[in-house]
Amino acid sequence: MGVAIEVNGLTKSFGSSRIWEDVALTIPAGEVSVLLGPSGTGKSVFLKSLIGLLRPERGSIVIDGTDIIECSAKELYEIRTLFGVLFQDGALFGSMNLFDNTAFPLREHTKKKEKEIRDIVMEKLALVGLGGDEKKFPGEISGGMRKRAGLARALVLDPQIILCDEPDSGLDPVRTAYLSQLIMDINAQIDATILIVTHNINIARTVPDNMGMLFRKHLVMFGPREVLLTSDEPVVRQFLNGRRIGPIGMSEEKDEATMAEEQALLDAGHQAGGVEEIEGVPPQITATPGMPERKAVGRRQARVREMLHTLPKKAQEAILDDLEGTHKYHASEFGG
């Protein structure tokens, strides 16, 4: 199973510009988590901090018992072997075919023989649906195939943690759906800890076990999907429904006067924009038939039941409705 990532009091700035401060959360081991937030809130910066590419000025990031902010360069190198990273554009080497791109981490970080490397590479390419495409170059394939090749490369070292930086970037809705299913199937097979940074509302609604949201330099919420999907937190509701009305503005957060003016327009019948309101807790994507059962689901649902009594009554009802499969409640009852 994957390992947990424990973040406490994390603060990061670039010069005089504070990106986020005092971020604290635990990304559960072996589960799929999503980090949301408007553009410019530092989601990708957070991802890079988790693997030590950027160094926050305060706080701790503990992975497998090691604080990567305070550890030695040798310890950081060892911790990084736990990670696989899918970058926004796949980050493939244009001069290498898919086989050599996927084999690159094995050749750089292991002493495996070429026959063993070939077996591993072909297995991972087949896992992401690229069996038979190993001789193609990045310039000869579609954006979706490049994403899958990048994912195959991220998997070759059998990582316990997989980071995905906007995996849907540049993909049409159909390819995004295929990639979402692939991520869930991988979690079912290897029980890895997966963190996805995305703007995609559909991914946020249907993929993760846990959801978090960055806004105004802080982590607004982080927890099981059921809790955020029934939350009445204004910024969470606005983002998940893609609406103009709420704290998030076009270029910066809004003041109270602007929000009151917008609400008055909405009350007068002016369209707020956005997508179709979510109904209750939308079904989560399940593993493809024939795959192992996702153990993450049972672990998450057990946590949800333990904390259920602390939530508002309507949220409790909607979550129980989802857990018990009756599906009677609608998200519009939760401030949508």
The confidence score (pLDDT) of residue 267 equals 56
Shared-domain flag, residues 136 and 26: yes
Domain interval for residue 238: 229-334
Buried/exposed code over 288-318 (b: 16+ C-beta within 10 A; e: otherwise)? eeeeeebebbebbbebbeeeeeebeeebebb
The confidence score (pLDDT) of residue 278 equals 61
Residues in the chain: 336
Residue with tokens 């957070």: 46
pLDDT tens digits for 43-70? 999 999 999 999 999 999 999 999 999 9
The confidence score (pLDDT) of residue 123 equals 94
CA–CA distance, 162 with 190 (Å, rounded to integer): 11
Number of domains in the chain: 2
Shared-domain flag, residues 144 and 287: no
Shared-domain flag, residues 243 and 270: yes
Domain boundary among 175, 201, 224: 224
Please check whether residue 32 is in contact with residue 79, taking contact to mean a CB–CB distance below 8 angstroms.
no
**Residue stretches of the chain with pLDDT short of 70:** 250-279, 326-336
The confidence score (pLDDT) of residue 247 equals 83
| pTM of the full structure | 0.86
Calculate the dihedral angle through the C-alpha atoms of 218, 210, 275, 200, rounding to the nearest 10 degrees: 80
The confidence score (pLDDT) of residue 40 equals 81
Domain boundary among 224, 242, 264: 224
Shared-domain flag, residues 49 and 82: yes
Residue with tokens 């001069």: 95
Shared-domain flag, residues 190 and 247: no
CA nearest to 93, candidates 153, 182, 144, 133: 153
Long-range CB pairs of 18-21, under 8 A, 24+ apart, other chains included: 18/217, 19/45, 19/217, 20/45, 20/46, 20/214, 20/217, 20/218, 20/219, 21/217, 21/218
Q: Which two tokens stand for residue 137?
A: 């170059």
CA–CA distance, 156 with 106 (Å, rounded to integer): 7
CATH code, domain carrying 66: 3.40.50.300
Shared-domain flag, residues 175 and 233: no
Domain boundary among 197, 224, 251: 224
The confidence score (pLDDT) of residue 327 equals 58
Q: Which two tokens stand for residue 129?
A: 């649906």
Shared-domain flag, residues 219 and 270: no
